[in-house]
A and B are shown apart, each in its own frame.
Chain A
């Protein structure tokens, strides 16, 4: 499904990713863990095609399609979703308007008609309920004045509406209390299916108690230095990252 081979990338002339390899099959959950500055957030941005993140080598394909040839918005329409660590506010643009523009863009890409406003309202209200957000929330500006938890739930809401193939969660747990974390995790778990894969980028093991991964990869200095099952995350929690860095060195 998502195939990342020998990916190298730099930001402002600094090499960040130095040969990343991950193979994600349909339905799998992969966790990428690593110390600060190891390239975790960069991985999410490079995969989703953010400007300023220059790929200098390697390949990324989604269902055989070369993602590196596509603009960020085209990758999104192909089914790649990035849930942000710090979702940004867009004042004055209502959540509903934003969500509809987003969903319609993806539908158009898939040869479907845009939703009528009424139908979309219904759908959005329904999804709001499932992530425990008040409907009034649809009328508010995108992330405008939202609490940290609301912002993250809004990300999950978007994920539910867009039904992507691959979801990348970029340190979704940061800034969340345990209740908010559970709501987010429930949302993600509800979206798990045999066709949909997740890449969960996180510094702490905590999130993985709720979203249980099939594989755990340790990223250090722009490379995967160790891979394993979910027990690797527990080991990391216990011992920190130092021993791996030593082991690799």
Chain B
């Protein structure tokens, strides 16, 4: 079967095209002037510039973390361009009609039509292209419900009190090397605020696209769900196929106030590099949410892209009875590497967390689950359940599990289950003997393995995720 597996994993990366637009791109390099430039471009208030500069100074004192189970050449941060925006966005188009058709077409091709009449019913989209937000759909409709959904660069002007209050409140500037870098140079991203007691009437989503070469994307997402509110948010990501590696270092902060619920889903399909391991995105992301009393945050991620992924969406369960969930499918193929997992920090009483992680390794890829469950002294009666399963396809890939468990409260209960399995010759032969071809068989077996996670995704995206796995697996059987 090894031969079959080897040959099946090759597939074109459908989102690999480039958009030919004239862009204003900063020359590579990082210094205070670059940060001032970005801040000035966005017309930011003084406090935000100061905040950025402070982060930059923190960052300069830090070094690239090396504890993850990934290998990549040292990144020269002076070789990266920190700002790139299509020139046509200079005049801040007021409506979709004023947006460069090339840009709209890009999203069209990616299956994300931005014209509201053509858009997926019930889903509002913020489309971020390199360093700027191109368009945000259904803003008016959402505003009727009191929901704020806009690029963070605009929110800084329109809702400064909210941004100032919550920005950096969950992921502090000095949290880690990449979050500090993001604080210094973040260019755009989405801002969401759901007022008290409101159930957001639509799915919200942000679609991130890196287009320009040699450019990094540093987006910042901030979602605040006020007391008793509810929101479901989805992000998607793609980039053109390029031979050099590109850096993506995002920060996502979620705030779920008392009795609020945030469901955050990610379908990450950054360019993974070619089958020989050239190019691809370095995806170094910090995602964290804080849950107040009775609040719930649920992270669901499907990670199929990127050359190197370093990502641990986490929950700080601050309030009593709050709930954190992490459902993850990570698939690596060819030379992809992923070190991903979560952190559940239990502070409040009777807090609960669930971690379901499904890792699939194929080709020559290497993958690690890294998760921390911490029960603080105040976490009376807290519970965690972790299930961590790895599936190997072929015999040249690797899977590793690094669970960290710290309990400082004797009443807390922590359960951990882990399995590693292979797509076996017997399974493949059973499928073939029943007339099913090997590609379909692999995809069926892998989808079955991921079922528990897929059922957590919003319906439209569950189907999408299944297809994405199929595409990403192509060439793993030969």
- Establish whether residues A50 and B429, one from each chain, have CB atoms under 8 Å apart when the complex forms: yes
**Residue B1, interface by CB 8 Å:** yes
**Residue A87, interface by CB 8 Å:** yes
List chain A residues, Cβ under 8 A from B426. Answer: 88
CA of A141 to CA of B217 in the docked complex: distance in angstroms? 42
**Residue B29, interface by CB 8 Å:** no
Tell me the residues in window 152-176 of chain A with beta carbons closer than 8 Å to chain B beta carbons.
158, 162
Look across to chain B and name the residue whose beta carbon is closest to the beta carbon of A77. Answer: B435
Of B426, B431, B435, chain A has the most CB atoms within 10 Å of the CB of B435
- Establish whether residues B435 and A105, one from each chain, have CB atoms under 8 Å apart when the complex forms: yes
**Residue B451, interface by CB 8 Å:** yes
- Establish whether residues B435 and A109, one from each chain, have CB atoms under 8 Å apart when the complex forms: yes
**Binary CB contact string for chain B from 420 to 443 against chain A (1 if under 8 A, 0 otherwise):** 000011110111111111101000
CA of A131 to CA of B333 in the docked complex: distance in angstroms? 42
- Establish whether residues B4 and A73, one from each chain, have CB atoms under 8 Å apart when the complex forms: no
Tell me the residues in window 65-97 of chain A with beta carbons closer than 8 Å to chain B beta carbons.
71-73, 76-77, 81-82, 84, 87-94, 97
A101 touches which one: B424, B436, B450, B451 (CB < 8 A)?
Answer: B436
- Establish whether residues B1 and A73, one from each chain, have CB atoms under 8 Å apart when the complex forms: no
**Residue B45, interface by CB 8 Å:** no
Q: Beyond A50-B429, A51-B4, A93-B448, is A88–B424 a contact (Cβ under 8 Å)? A: yes
- Establish whether residues A102 and B444, one from each chain, have CB atoms under 8 Å apart when the complex forms: no
CA of A71 to CA of B430 in the docked complex: distance in angstroms? 13
**Residue A215, interface by CB 8 Å:** no
State the Cβ distance, A49 to closest chain B Cβ, in Å: 8
CA of A51 to CA of B431 in the docked complex: distance in angstroms? 13
List chain B residues, Cβ under 8 A from A109. Answer: 435
Tell me how many residues of A have a C-beta within 8 Å of chain B: 32
- Establish whether residues A101 and B444, one from each chain, have CB atoms under 8 Å apart when the complex forms: yes
Look across to chain B and name the residue whose beta carbon is closest to the beta carbon of A101. Answer: B436
- Establish whether residues B434 and A102, one from each chain, have CB atoms under 8 Å apart when the complex forms: yes
List chain A residues, Cβ under 8 A from B425. Answer: 51-52
List chain A residues, Cβ under 8 A from B166. Answer: none
- Establish whether residues B429 and A72, one from each chain, have CB atoms under 8 Å apart when the complex forms: yes
Tell me how many residues of B have a C-beta within 8 Å of chain A: 25
B436 touches which one: A82, A87, A105 (CB < 8 A)?
Answer: A105
Interface of A is mostly: mixed
Q: Beyond A51-B1, A98-B444, is A92–B449 a contact (Cβ under 8 Å)? A: yes
**Residue A31, interface by CB 8 Å:** no
**Residue B445, interface by CB 8 Å:** yes
B433 touches which one: A48, A89, A91 (CB < 8 A)?
Answer: A48
CA of A48 to CA of B434 in the docked complex: distance in angstroms? 10
- Establish whether residues B444 and A72, one from each chain, have CB atoms under 8 Å apart when the complex forms: no
CA of A72 to CA of B425 in the docked complex: distance in angstroms? 13
CA of A88 to CA of B1 in the docked complex: distance in angstroms? 16
**Residue B88, interface by CB 8 Å:** no
State the Cβ distance, B427 to closest chain A Cβ, in Å: 5
List chain B residues, Cβ under 8 A from A88. Answer: 424, 426-427, 430
- Establish whether residues B448 and A73, one from each chain, have CB atoms under 8 Å apart when the complex forms: no
**Residue A106, interface by CB 8 Å:** yes
State the Cβ distance, B433 to closest chain A Cβ, in Å: 5
- Establish whether residues B433 and A90, one from each chain, have CB atoms under 8 Å apart when the complex forms: no
CA of A102 to CA of B436 in the docked complex: distance in angstroms? 6
List chain A residues, Cβ under 8 A from B23. Answer: none
B435 touches which one: A51, A76, A84, A94 (CB < 8 A)?
Answer: A76
Of A48, A102, A109, chain B has the most CB atoms within 10 Å of the CB of A102
**Residue B447, interface by CB 8 Å:** yes
Look across to chain B and name the residue whose beta carbon is closest to the beta carbon of A143. Answer: B430
Q: Beyond A72-B429, A84-B430, A97-B444, is A92–B435 a contact (Cβ under 8 Å)? A: no
State the Cβ distance, B445 to closest chain A Cβ, in Å: 6
- Establish whether residues A73 and B444, one from each chain, have CB atoms under 8 Å apart when the complex forms: no
Closest 8 CB pairs of A and B: A92-B448, A93-B448, A102-B434, A105-B435, A88-B426, A72-B432, A76-B435, A92-B451
Q: List 17 A-B contacts (CB under 8 A).
A: A50-B433, A72-B433, A73-B437, A76-B432, A76-B434, A84-B433, A88-B424, A88-B430, A90-B445, A90-B448, A92-B450, A101-B434, A105-B437, A105-B440, A109-B435, A142-B430, A162-B435
Given contacts A51-B425, A88-B430, A105-B437, 9 further A-B contacts (CB under 8 A): A51-B429, A72-B429, A73-B436, A73-B438, A76-B434, A88-B426, A90-B444, A102-B435, A109-B435
Which B residues have a C-beta under 8 Å from some C-beta of A? 1, 4, 424-427, 429-438, 440, 444-445, 447-452
